[in-house]
Amino acid sequence: MKKLLLLLIILAALTGATAQTRGVARGADPGELYITTGWYGIYTPGWGPPFYDTMQLAIFRLTENGKNLTIQYDADAFAGEYTPPDSIILNGSILADATPGVVYIRRLYVKDSYSHTSLWVSFDYGKNWTFREENIGQRFYYAANFEGLIYRIGGDLVDGTLVSDDYGATFTEIYETAGWTIEPYFERCEFFAIAGTTKSLYHTHDCAATDEIIPIDSQFVFGSMSGILPDVYRGGLPGEVYISSWFPDWTYKVSFSADTGHTFQHVYINEPVDPVYDYNVNFMSDREPDVFYIIKYYDVEDTDPWGKHRKICVDYYRDYGDTFVDTYCHDITKDYKNEVGIALPSPPEGGDVRVYPNPTEGEFQVTSYGLQVTDIEMFDVFGKTVGVTFAVAHVETDNYPSLQPTTTINISHLPSGIYFIRIQTTKGLINRKIVKY
């Protein structure tokens, strides 16, 4: 019976998300999405009602605008019968900030007869996870359009609005009252929020100390539909805002504004669907201006073994909905586990250098893609050289001495803080920032 009750909770979480408890997040790179949802389930053998004996949940990474899908992490849903948080994380809402490879999971559960919320962070595209904090009661987290910047709001009005600049390791209060369900925008402490009951858009530049209330025409937003609230998303450029909303005829509409929400136009309207089975439609804007996605989930029946698996389809739009590019569908059968792995991002044209993991506890790697690195120096926030200038490993490539394509650097002797890395390549200087905690 515990497994049946847990399954009902899982299905509710997968099909009826309220605003900002999202199962989809935009990544730090254009064309990158993260999804957290069910993968496959197997029914208990025998007669009677189909109780799940196995239910796997997964974190998926999609690249190239939804064309490629990899399973970064999967977990047994029934691990929720253990006392969280532990070494197993389960699905919750998923977020990503502007740091390549960084993803967050916000997990809500019941422990000791009270609701609890935990926060986890991954620095390697969702494969490995670090526990950050656990709080009694509901908390909501919102990843900003900056590296390492994430907000926390007390859903039970037990604390105010807090901010972390170190990937959720520590939080500092910035406003004593709990704010709204928010969408961080392009400036620090700039938020959007939507109130479906009043059909208004809220915009603040000072972490909700003051706000502008912008009415929205009823053709663009409705209230709660079976627990699904309207949602607001930032676009790819300042001033751009999207809103999504279900309507009583069970159409799903997405609207776009280029003037911070003062005027809207429809950019996507889904045909009316069966509200019992087919309303699992999700929107997400891209970091690239004019690009957005419609993500749809389908349950596919299996016979051997008896159960279900998930199919995910991504509709890829450009030109603010005027151009439909393609639909990429991924049939995630039980055997799809053979595809598990991290699809490393392709190096940008002209080459790049990546620093990983970031933040780090002591060691990190400098990896070059299509560039020859000849020297590396590190500085603190005051511009003072720290550690040593890393020696060049003489690897002859086109008669240039260069470092190995991947070089491991140990900074465990340095105090925690922010450091800057100056990377000399044969094509010029590249500067990177790294956080040691």
- DSSP secondary structure of 405-418: SEEEEE-TTSPSEE
pLDDT tens for 182-197 read 899 999 889 998 876 6
108-124 core/surface letters (b: 16 or more CB in 10 A; e: else):
bbeeeeeebbbbbbbbe
CATH number of 352-436: 2.60.40.1930
Query: What are the C-alpha distances in Å from 78 to residues 52, 60, 88, 118, 363?
Result: 10, 19, 10, 18, 35
Predicted pLDDT of residue 278:
58
Look at the block and give the residue holding tokens 């909770």. 9
When comparing pLDDT for 193 and 5, which is higher? 193
Q: What is the mean pLDDT of residues 287-315?
A: 92
**Spatial CB neighbours of 128, under 8 Å, sequence gap ≥ 6:** 122
Predicted pLDDT of residue 14:
37
Predicted pLDDT of residue 30:
94
Q: How far apart are CA 52 and CA 218, in angstroms?
A: 42
Predicted pLDDT of residue 19:
47
Helix (H, G, I), strand (E, B) or coil at 318: strand
Number of H helices, E strands in the chain: 1, 30
pTM of the model: 0.74
pLDDT band at 414 (very low <50, low <70, confident <90, very high): confident
Predicted pLDDT of residue 304:
82
pLDDT band at 268 (very low <50, low <70, confident <90, very high): very high
User: Is it the case that residue 368 has pLDDT exceeding 50?
Assistant: yes
Number of Cβ within 10 Å of residue 209's Cβ equals: 14
Per-domain boundaries in the chain: 2-339, 352-436
Predicted pLDDT of residue 290:
95
Q: How far apart are CA 347 and CA 52, in angstroms?
A: 42
pLDDT band at 327 (very low <50, low <70, confident <90, very high): very high
State the architecture of 2-339 in CATH terms. Answer: 6 Propeller (2.120)
Q: What is the mean pLDDT of residues 363-381?
A: 78
User: Is it the case that residue 82 has pLDDT exceeding 70?
Assistant: no
Query: What are the C-alpha distances in Å from 349 to residues 98, 267, 346, 353, 369?
Result: 20, 31, 9, 12, 10
